[in-house]
Structure 1
Amino acid sequence: MSRQDGMADGRAAIVALPVDDATLAAWHVLAQDAGAANPFYAPAGVAAGQLLPESGRVRLLFVWQGARLIGALPLRTKTARGVALFVENWDQRLRALGEPLVLPGHEAAFWQAALPALARAPGQWLRLSALDRDSASTRELLAVLGARGRPVYETRRYARAVLHAGLSSAEHAAQHVRGKVLKEHRRLRARLADRGTLRFERLAAGEDVGPWVDALFALEQTGWKGREGVAAAADPATEACFRAMIAAAHAAGELDFHRMTVGGQPIAMLANLERGDEAFQLKIAYDEEWASFSPGVLIEMEYLAYALDVRRLLRVDSCARAGHPMIDRIWPDRRTIVSLIVPHPTLRSRLLCSAQAMWRARRQRALNRDMIETAA
């Protein structure tokens, strides 16, 4: 379907990649203006993610109001033995957020148009993963479903660390990091400076990003990811995806790349994707030979000062797993991430999703009993 077909009556259109130049330009604009920043669903993020084998056949749900693109969501149909099971917001291993790109104030209009189109897509139900529970889009989705009397099932929920604006870095440290810990950080920095000149540097706009990425991957190989064969450089597809995402962000002026060196030797690096006044931590790595100096913590503390005092970002998403042992201690705020199952408005879909919900509930009760018995 062309952009003009999707525009004709203002309804949603599900299209295949690649899209035409006019649609691509509108998608770029939407990615910049969306109420919930999501670089993983911007054109460059989708292009990079398609380099991964699990990306599958990606399609795009676009919602237009006249000539204006108000919403976009990459999609994939999950199949088993050639049968379409469900349609879902596109997922792959580097995607940290599944929020659709929606213009602020148009969230209800987006879902009112999107839900009927998604119900016509192949699959028995709709799965939406890695949503921000408190985003305007998720709130409006639940409101639209509620107004139509449609059920929704939450299948996963976790909280991950985020950094919010409001305090200076000094105020943040004073309120959220124990004085004993801050003293230890100062001691570690002094010990590092004894080994050579200690520098915290940031990749310049016109600088070649390639050597920085090479150094980042080399640092990651020194740690447990390298030993277990799960570092980015251990898998050609993962490496290609990271390189493409970082290179595209750098070209667009949306890459924030930091490194910590001692005597000119990189011992910790941190790559972030920026989108407006938000940032997403894409990858952090440090040289394990320097682990006793806590280089990962030190570069995060230095970045905290940069994010709050220099860039004055409204939010930085750690993109870390729940209960991360390092970042959770220095970033006290949390972003609640949820995954939802939405039955289509058919009896078959409702019954299938209801049966799944009952199975999950029974499984959770059994797990809870096992935990109680083990503790006893």
Structure 2
Amino acid sequence: MKQSALTVTIYDQTNWQEVEAEWAALTQEAIEPNPFFGPAFIKAYQRHMTKGRLKLIMARETGSGRALATLPVLMKGPLPLLKVPQGLAGNYGPLGTLLLAPEAPKEALEQVIETALQLSPWNMLVLPFHSNGGLVQAQLKEVAKTRGWQVARSQETDRAFQRGGEAGFEALQQALASKSGKRIQRYGRQLQKQGELAFSASSTAEEALEGLEAFLDLEQKGWKGHQGSALIQRSNALAFTREMFAQAAQNQQARVDQMTLAGEPVAIKLWLAAGKRWFGWKTAFNEAYSKVSPGTQLLFYSSAVNLRDPGFNGADSLTSTDNRMANVVWQDRFEHATLTIGSGLRFTFANAILTQASLAKQYAVAKIKGLLGRR
């Protein structure tokens, strides 16, 4: 598909090595970073979690081959005959913002969306966890108006976000000085009476991988291990995590922060990076210390580490909107929503069915979490 100086191609695991270098470069320079749409994450995910069903739509500059816009999609739906392309965003990567180069023309985003719409007879594209109000969403809105596409927003919410620069430093100081922040610092002093309390952040790929194994062990010892849902208890998820994190660490795009007491892990946090933004991927802690909020203590430390990173421009908590740990430390918010794009009667029909299916799923998930006593 060609227009102007652009070429749009659909890649899969058989041939995306042809554009991996350009793809990786776009992941780092995108106007809204998203590590979950980069090759380190996608290649491991398709190998272990999707059985090769994932497609990568990429707009490239004709001639130079530079990647301008990228969207990985899966065909999903509540019924066999009602499958539509959906951006790859969910529990393992709750961010679905398209990768868009800073100088990408409007045609790049337009053609990627149009190519996705043509994958299904329902003329529909679903983008879960897409940034709501960011630079990409603004361009998408402009392109949709030009093409006559409808853009419906649902599941609009937000989550804790850490700003960079002087504003981020001031926000962290305010959080530490707050009533909750002082309580967390008091918890730390209480722990120091039981032994040496130490915090660390991995600085090499080897340290990050050692930290990952410590995380897997700590997670298994908690409630997830008791329920059988810890990563180490699920072979596909474990293989995906180890492969993805190893590649990210090798590229200096992964970090493991730890809080230890007398040399034993109390809390561990896994981070992924894209551009100059960090993403708090997963956290585990020793539940014997839950009354002293080890996860929150570690996040205060991690926030300071983030701010010391040259050029740091923000950190996404990747949590739910009411996550107490993240909300104590970070006061800024990242807004996101599910964007549904399309046009025509087929789109209207399919959108109505998918909306009802989504509401039913949300209700079921909420009931299950309520029964388990988990947020």
How do 1:147-226 residues align onto structure 2 when only pairs under 5 Å count? 147-167=146-166, 171-177=170-176, 179-205=178-204, 207-226=206-225
AA aligned opposite 1:252:
N
Residues in 2 aligned to 1:311 and 1:199: alpha-carbon distance in whole angstroms: 24
Residue 63 of structure 1 is matched in structure 2 by: 59
Residue 97 of structure 1 is matched in structure 2 by: 95
Residue 40 of structure 2 is matched in structure 1 by: 44
**Secondary structure of 2:6 counterpart:** coil
8 Å contact from structure 2 (residues 85, 119) kept in 1: yes
AA aligned opposite 2:152:
Y
The count of aligned residue pairs is 359
Shift of the 169–264 alpha-carbon distance from structure 1 to 2, 3 Å rule, reads farther
Q: 1:17 aligns with which of 13, 21, 25?
A: 13
Residue 303 of structure 2 is matched in structure 1 by: 304
Choose 308-317 or 214-223, whichever is displaced more. Answer: 308-317
| Cα distance, 1:351 vs structure 2 | 4.5
8 Å contact from structure 2 (residues 128, 337) kept in 1: yes
Residues in 2 aligned to 1:64 and 1:238: alpha-carbon distance in whole angstroms: 32
1:340 aligns with 2:339: yes
Residue 315 of structure 2 is matched in structure 1 by: 316
AA aligned opposite 2:22:
A
Shift of the 36–107 alpha-carbon distance from structure 1 to 2, 3 Å rule, reads farther
What root-mean-square deviation, in Å, do the aligned CA atoms of Structure 1 and Structure 2 show? 2.9
Residue 368 of structure 1 is matched in structure 2 by: none
**Secondary structure of 2:247 counterpart:** helix
Identity value in percent: 24
| Cα distance, 1:104 vs structure 2 | 1.0
Shift of the 196–25 alpha-carbon distance from structure 1 to 2, 3 Å rule, reads same
8 Å contact from structure 1 (residues 220, 231) kept in 2: yes
Residues in 2 aligned to 1:261 and 1:328: alpha-carbon distance in whole angstroms: 23
How do 1:118-129 residues align onto structure 2 when only pairs under 5 Å count? 118-124=116-122, 125-129=124-128
Choose 76-85 or 256-265, whichever is displaced more. Answer: 76-85
Choose 83-92 or 153-162, whichever is displaced more. Answer: 83-92
**Deviation sequence 1:39-69 (CA, Å, 0-9, x none):** 1111111012224545660111111221322
Residue 116 of structure 1 is matched in structure 2 by: 114
Residue 282 of structure 1 is matched in structure 2 by: 281
Residue 373 of structure 1 is matched in structure 2 by: none
Residue 371 of structure 2 is matched in structure 1 by: none
Answer with 1 or 2: which has the greater Rg.
Answer: 1
| Cα distance, 1:137 vs structure 2 | 1.5
**What are the ranges of 5 or more consecutive residues in structure 2 without an aligned counterpart?**
363-375
Residues in 2 aligned to 1:298 and 1:312: alpha-carbon distance in whole angstroms: 24
Q: Taking structure 2 as the reference length, what is the TM-score of the superposition?
A: 0.86
Shift of the 122–168 alpha-carbon distance from structure 1 to 2, 3 Å rule, reads closer
Shift of the 62–221 alpha-carbon distance from structure 1 to 2, 3 Å rule, reads same
Residues in 1 aligned to 2:190 and 2:5: alpha-carbon distance in whole angstroms: 66
Residues in 1 aligned to 2:356 and 2:289: alpha-carbon distance in whole angstroms: 49
AA aligned opposite 2:298:
I
Shift of the 269–262 alpha-carbon distance from structure 1 to 2, 3 Å rule, reads same
Shift of the 339–193 alpha-carbon distance from structure 1 to 2, 3 Å rule, reads same
AA aligned opposite 1:298:
Q
**What are the ranges of 5 or more consecutive residues in structure 1 without an aligned counterpart?**
365-376
Residue 291 of structure 1 is matched in structure 2 by: 290
8 Å contact from structure 2 (residues 49, 240) kept in 1: no
AA aligned opposite 2:218:
L
Q: 1:31 aligns with which of 5, 27, 33?
A: 27
| Cα distance, 1:297 vs structure 2 | 1.1
Shift of the 337–102 alpha-carbon distance from structure 1 to 2, 3 Å rule, reads same
Shift of the 80–288 alpha-carbon distance from structure 1 to 2, 3 Å rule, reads closer
How do 1:238-277 residues align onto structure 2 when only pairs under 5 Å count? 238-277=237-276
| Cα distance, 1:311 vs structure 2 | 4.8
**Secondary structure of 1:152 counterpart:** strand
**Secondary structure of 2:324 counterpart:** coil
8 Å contact from structure 1 (residues 30, 102) kept in 2: yes
Residues in 2 aligned to 1:197 and 1:294: alpha-carbon distance in whole angstroms: 17
How do 1:356-375 residues align onto structure 2 when only pairs under 5 Å count? none
8 Å contact from structure 1 (residues 169, 305) kept in 2: no
Shift of the 214–333 alpha-carbon distance from structure 1 to 2, 3 Å rule, reads same
